[in-house]
Amino acid sequence: MVVYCQVDGRGAVTEDTWQGIERVHVPVDRPGWLGTSLFDLRSIRHASAFPDLCLTFGYNTAVFNTAQRLKRIPNVINMDGMEWTRARWGPTKQGILLANERIACRVGDHLIADHPVIHDYLRKHADASKITTITYGADPVEDAPTAPLEALDLRPGGFSTVICRPIPENSLLEIVRAYSRRERRHRLVVLGSFDASTDAYHDEILRAASDEVVFPGAIYDPEVVTALRFHSRCYVHGHTVGGTNPSLVEAMAAANPVIAHDNVYNRWVAGERSRFFRSEDELASLFDELLDDAEELSAMSRSSRERHRTEFTWEHVAAQYEQLLRRHLPGTWAEQPVSHTPGRGST
């Protein structure tokens, strides 16, 4: 297996091995979208020199994948949701993303949808036989230390969590307002980067927050994030667009009771035993009802754990990827037996 990695700077492409995986490091000296696009272009050029199967995550620069198509190099593309629908990109970038989505549907040998709704959407632009639904996974969390909580002045079960980008489509302002309507004797921990001096939406969120809403910043330390998830009373998920959201899956892996925005994406992932809101008023009522209802939260927690176990374990996800990729792998490798039992959910 060879994995392409983007690194900052200039220079030649380098290679090394990490835990049995060959890594190709592609230097890029441009930030943001342009840097990512340049990385994609250089990676595809490098990969196209070999006749091996490619697995591409994301369709944002699918126009470059034409190279694999022309060279008849098999390419399976994970379509990663409906990125072009996100308003935060603006009309120009949305148009570019939409064009590349359509290109991916044509040049990809097979397409992976991360959610049944995305699968149905892709069927409008590609033959159903070349689309498979495979979600994201997360490791189950059975226990976690409390020391990371103490560093943040939190106690187990004394807080709920929100982990998302602070952008309007993630309903963060509505969540903070609903939570801050009255005293909860409980904290809401909002993970993410905020800059009130340059972003009016960030400033509005911070101004709307009561003293019980905590903003510790963006935390990337896996041990700290895992501890926050495991010891959280519930997880609040405001995403309104997209397919299967990894943060929601990770919350369920930690057996978090889920309160989520009511849409077809979240309902399928979280399951009907979770609770859903469509407005700020509905969410405020759910906070009033649930935060002190230990019996209901316990039932929701068990439901999250079971939903994760049946659909979102890495064993289940990896088995589906292995089965799919072997169908497209050239040469004798494709004839070797699959080492895992194929999981449910492939379509």
- DSSP string computed for 141-182: -----SHHHHHTT--TTSEEEEES--SGGGTHHHHHHHHTTS
What order of strands is seen across the sheet that includes strand 213-217? 213-217, 187-191, 159-163, 235-237, 258-261, 275-277
Give the number of other Cβ atoms within 10 Å of residue 309's Cβ.
13
In this predicted structure, what is the pLDDT of residue 85? 80
Architecture in CATH of 48-137+314-335 = 3-Layer(aba) Sandwich (3.40)
Say how many CA atoms lie within 13 Å of 334 toward its Cβ: 11
Distance CA 322, CA 343 (A): 10
Which tokens is 187 given?
């904290």
pLDDT at 198: 94
Domain ranges of the chain: 48-137+314-335, 147-311
- Reading the block at residue 32, the tokens are 């943001």
- Cα–Cα distance, 138 to 141 (Å, whole number): 9
Query: How far is residue 254 CA from its own chain's centroid?
Result: 16
Asked whether this chain's domains 48-137+314-335 and 147-311 adopt the same fold, the reply is: yes
Task: Name the pTM for this structure.
Answer: 0.90
Cα R_g (the chain), whole angstroms: 22
Pairing of the two strands 2-8 and 14-18: unpaired
Task: Tell me 48's DSSP state.
Answer: T
Q: Are 119 and 134 in contact (CB under 8 A)?
A: no
The CB density around residue 315, as the number of other CB atoms within 10 Å, is 12
Phi-psi region of 242 (alpha: psi -120 to 50; beta: other; left: phi over 0): left
* Spatial distance between the Cα atoms of 75 and 55, rounded to a whole number of angstroms: 6
How far apart (Å, rounded) are the C-alpha atoms in residues 251 and 109?
A: 33
Q: Which CATH number fits the domain 147-311, given the four candidates 1.10.8.350, 1.10.1060.10, 3.40.50.2000, 3.40.710.10? A: 3.40.50.2000
Inter-residue contact 205 to 229 (CB < 8 Å): no
Q: What are the contacts of 327-330 at 24+ separation with CB within 8 A?
A: 327/110, 328/53, 328/74, 328/76, 328/109, 328/110, 329/53, 329/74, 330/51, 330/52, 330/53, 330/74
pLDDT in tens, the chain (347 residues): 999 999 999 999 999 999 999 999 999 999 888 999 999 999 999 999 999 999 999 999 999 999 999 999 999 999 988 888 887 788 999 999 999 999 999 999 999 999 999 999 999 999 999 999 999 999 999 999 999 999 999 999 999 999 999 999 999 999 999 999 999 999 999 999 999 999 999 999 999 999 999 999 999 999 999 999 999 999 999 999 889 999 999 999 999 999 999 999 999 999 999 999 999 999 999 999 999 999 999 999 999 999 999 999 999 999 999 999 999 987 644 444 443 333 323 32
- 67 Cβ partners below 8 Å, 6+ apart? 44, 45, 48
